[in-house]
Amino acid sequence: MTARLLEQKCGGTCSATVLEASHRIGGKLHTRKFSKADAVYESGVAECYGYVSGDDPLRSLVADLGLETIPTAGSTVVMHGHIIRDDEDLARVGGPATRAAVESFRAISAQALSIDEWRGRLPAESPGDPAAAMTGIDLLELVDDDFARRYLALLAHSDLAAEPHQTSARYALRKMVMGLPGYGSVYGLRGGMEELPRRLAQHLTRTGLELNARVVRLERHADGGYSLTVRRGCDLAVEQADVVVLAVPHGALYAIECAGDELRHNFAAHIAAYDRPGHYLRVSLLFDRAFWRTELTGAWFMLDALGGCCVYDESARHQHESCGVLGWLIAGADALMLCNADDETLADLAVGSLPGDLAETARRSLCECRVHRWAGAVSARPGRSPRAGSEGLPLLDRSGRGGLCVVGDYLFDATLNGVLRSATDVADVIATSLTSDALPPPGASLPDA
C-alpha cells in the first residue's frame, strides 16, 4: 500500500524497493485451498470494513485495483444451545429485560461514539483521562442484565482478539457499535482476501519487489540515510537508503537490530509502547455438504463455545457448490491456550461446539481440517499509549537527520482500513519532504524509500 501511494504521490522523483522477509506477499491476508476439494477459505484476515456513507479510501483502492467485492452479513448467535437470530429470539431466550438492556446499551453506545468518531482515529490515551483507564470489562459492567452482558461480550470477542480486561473501553466500544445502522458494512473479495496484495503488486510500475529478503539490522548514517543489513538465505548484504518504512507486524520488530544508542533507544521505546498482543486461531473444516444452512444462516454466526468465537460460512461467499466449509475464528485467551493443540484435537473441539444434532452431523460429514495459528499477530489495544510519545506520526528516528517510520494495523484499529491510513500518513510525509528543504542538493541522488 505504501509503495503504491508513493508512486501516485511522488511520480518519478523517488525510487522504492519492497524487501519482503518471507516467500510471499500479503502477511495476514492469507487465502488457501483444501487438498480434497477445489474450495478456498480465508486462513487470515477475513474481511474488509466499509463505510456506509462518505469517503471510503479502502473501498476506493479495491475498486481502483479492479477487485470484485462480496457483501457479507450475519446476525445469528448461539448461546447455551439456543439459536438467537434477532431481537425477538433474544427476548424469547433471555427475557424482555435482556432485550431492553441490549437496546439501552446500543442507544448509549451510539451517543458515546458517533459515526464520524467511529470512522476517525482512536484518540491518544492520556494518563489524566478517566476514560483512558477504563477497560472493556468496565464498559460491559454498565449493563445490569447478566444475559445481555454475556450476549454483548460474545458479539465483540472475535473482533477484539483479547479478553475485555485486556483492551480499552474506547476500542471495545468501536467494535460493539459496528453492527448498528449507519456505522459500517463488511465485505469480502472475490477470489479471496489475498487478491488485494497480489493486485497491488501487479499495479506497481516503478517499485522493486524482492521476496526472501529479511532486514536484520539498521544503522543510521551521521549525515542522514541508513544502512540495512539484509539476509537472503545464508548470505548477508548491506543496502543503502535515504528513507526506511517498516511495514511489519509489531512482533517482527523484535527481530531487527538497531545500531547506535539513540536509534536503539527510540526503537525499543516504540516496541514497548505498542506491546499489547492479541491472538487468533483459525480452524477451517471441509464438509461433504453445507448441512447447517437450515438452522444457522448468514455469512457467519457466533458461538459461546471456545471462549466466544465467530464461525464463517466460507461456502456462502466463495460459492462452493459440491461441498461446505466452516471456519472457526477463535480469539484471545482460548486462541493462545489452544495454539499448542494438534490439528485433530482442534477439529474435534470445533465440531463439538456446534449446537444440538449439528455436531454429530458434522462428524459424519467432515472431510478435511486445516489450522492456521496467529498468536500475537494483532494488537489487543491498538493506538497510541501514553508511552508512545508525541501525537505525530510514529517516527522511530527522531534525530532530525533521517527518516525511519512505521506503518501497521496496530497503530490505529487493527483493520485493513488502519493499515491504509498509516500508509497514507507515511506516504504524505515522504512526498512532502521531496518538495521541501529536505530534498538533497542539486546533483545528489534523489531519496530512496
Condensed to tens digits (0 to 9), the pLDDT of residues 64-75 reads 999 999 999 999
92-116: pLDDT as tens digits: 999 999 999 999 999 999 999 998 8
DSSP letter string, 235-300: EEEEEEESEEEE-S-GGGGGG-EEESHHHHHHHHHHHHHT--EEEEEEEEEEESS-TTTTTS-SSE
pLDDT for position 394: 65
In this structure, the strands spanning 207-210 and 16-19 are parallel
Higher pLDDT, 217 or 391: 217
120 contact partners, CB below 8 Å, separation of at least 6: none
pLDDT of residue 393: 58
What pLDDT was estimated at residue 433? Answer: 82
pLDDT in tens, 379-394: 999 986 655 554 455 6
pLDDT above 50 (res 118):
yes
Q: What percent of the chain stands above pLDDT 70?
A: 90
Closest CA to 86 of 103, 72, 108: 103
307: left (phi over 0), alpha (psi -120 to 50) or beta: left
Instruction: Kindly report the average pLDDT of the chain as a whole number.
Output: 90
Contacts of 357 (CB under 8 A, 6+ apart): none
Mean pLDDT of 146-154: 97
**What whole-number distance in Å separates Cα of residue 290 and Cα of residue 64?**
34
Task: Determine the Cα–Cα distance for residues 178 and 184; give it in Å rounded to an integer.
Answer: 6
- Indicate the pLDDT class of residue 399, thresholds 50, 70 and 90: low
Q: What is the pLDDT of residue 26?
A: 93
Does the pLDDT at position 202 exceed 60? Answer: yes
Please list, in sequence order, all residues whose beta carbon lies within 8 angstroms of the beta carbon of residue 349, skipping any fewer than 6 positions away. Answer: 283, 306, 338, 341
Rounded to an integer, what distance in angstroms lies between the CA atom of residue 369 and that of residue 382? Answer: 32
Residue 117 Cα to chain centre, angstroms:
19
Could you tell me the domains of the chain?
2-29+194-276+381-434 (3.50.50.60), 69-188+277-379 (3.90.660.10)
pLDDT of residue 166: 94
E-strand ranges in 5-103 read 16-19, 31-33, 40-42, 48-50, 69-72, 76-79, 82-84
Cβ density class 240-264: b for 16+ within 10 Å, e for less: ebbbbbbbbbbbbbeebebeeeebe
